[in-house]
Amino acid sequence: MRLLWLPLAAVLAIISAPTAQATTPGVNGRIVYSAETSAGLQLFTVRPDGSDVRQLTSVEGDAAHADWSPDGRRLVFEFGSETHAGVMLINRDGTGLRDLTPTGFQGNPSFTPDGKKIVFDSDEGIAIMRADGSGRRQLTSTPFPGTGYDTDANVSPDGKYITFVRVKVPDKEHALFSMRIDGSGVRQLTSYSLDVGVKHDWAPDGSRIAIIANADHQPPGTSANVATIRPNGTGLRMLTHYTGGEVNALTGSYSPDGRWIVYRLENHGKYSIAKLPATGHGCSQTILSLPVAPRFIDWGPRTW
């Protein structure tokens, strides 16, 4: 697919736009993550203080890439097995499990800010559908068929743009791209050499995007780190500074109040869910230590 670049006026509009409404605004609620069990990856949730860990799913396969609905009452996630990968919907208490894409291979879903639609991966690229699974429409097609793919779509808080990770060479060359919500204006935001990981998130005010830098440890011995950029791809800011490959920080998401970024810390074979100030100024805090790696961490809003 030929890359279409946003005109200068559109870029300036992004930079100068007023503060957008948060994608998941409100008081910080529970954190969801995936962890390996004897039955495969399952979803778990935990309070922000590390207490009250609950297993949310017990599916026969893998449950991963969960995303909270804007009201914090539901989640979408990817269910994967050898014969099918689908976009699943579930209530925050684990009830109401529903496969929105019962055939084929889809995954890595996230809600639009109004909760009415879901963006996700398909065999061809990034797609969008209504939150009930109807009205599916394809938005991208990878320019690297056979080796690369488009994944990890997220919608900006104002609902106008979608960012996604375009994989050129798996486990080596990944870059962040953006496009308008209708699939037009595809634009590259980061270099492939930055090797952005398949988990990123918009700040609730729309001012920055949290990414994983050097996610695949290239060259060998390089550590993964939490970083942020502006929505136009400028202003790369490293928030963690690990080196040597034995300690790694992998971005999860912003907190609903925008003050924190939650992430996975790998420290010489030990794992934890941690948070650090979104500005990068201040100390990280451990939320929960785990015997296995917590994956695809996402912080939801509190419901009353």
Q: How confident is the model over 119-164, as pLDDT tens digits?
A: 999 999 999 999 999 999 999 999 999 999 999 999 999 999 999 9
The Cα 258–Cα 25 span in angstroms is: 9
- DSSP type of residue 189: -
pLDDT number for residue 17:
37
The Cα 257–Cα 174 span in angstroms is: 29
pLDDT number for residue 202:
98
In sequence order, which residues have a C-beta less than 8 Å from that of residue 304 and are 6 or more positions away?
none
Q: Single out the residue of 128, 126, 148 nearest to residue 137, CA to CA.
A: 128
pLDDT number for residue 50:
98
- DSSP type of residue 113: T
pLDDT number for residue 304:
66
Q: Single out the residue of 168, 210, 166, 206 nearest to residue 188, CA to CA.
A: 166
Q: CA angle, 186 as apex, 11 and 121 as ends, to 5°?
A: 130
Q: Single out the residue of 77, 72, 139, 138 nearest to residue 109, CA to CA.
A: 77
DSSP string, 239-282: S----SSSEEEEEEEE-TTSSEEEEEEEETTEEEEEEEETTS-S
Q: And the tokens for 56?
A: 């949310």
Q: Single out the residue of 240, 253, 186, 177 nearest to residue 213, CA to CA.
A: 240
Query: What ranges do the domains of the chain cover?
Result: 30-301
Which parts of the chain sit beneath pLDDT 70? 1-25, 304
pLDDT number for residue 259:
97
- Virtual CA dihedral for 137, 19, 198, 288, nearest 10 degrees? -130
Q: And the tokens for 123?
A: 């065999």
pLDDT number for residue 22:
42
Question: What's the Cα-to-Cα distance from 208 to each of 140, 147, 215, 280, rounded to whole Å?
Answer: 23, 30, 19, 13
Q: CA angle, 38 as apex, 61 and 108 as ends, to 5°?
A: 35
- DSSP type of residue 150: E
Q: 30-301: which CATH topology?
A: Neuraminidase (2.120.10)
Per-residue pLDDT of 207-242, as tens digits, reads 999 999 999 998 889 999 999 999 999 999 999 999
pLDDT number for residue 14:
33
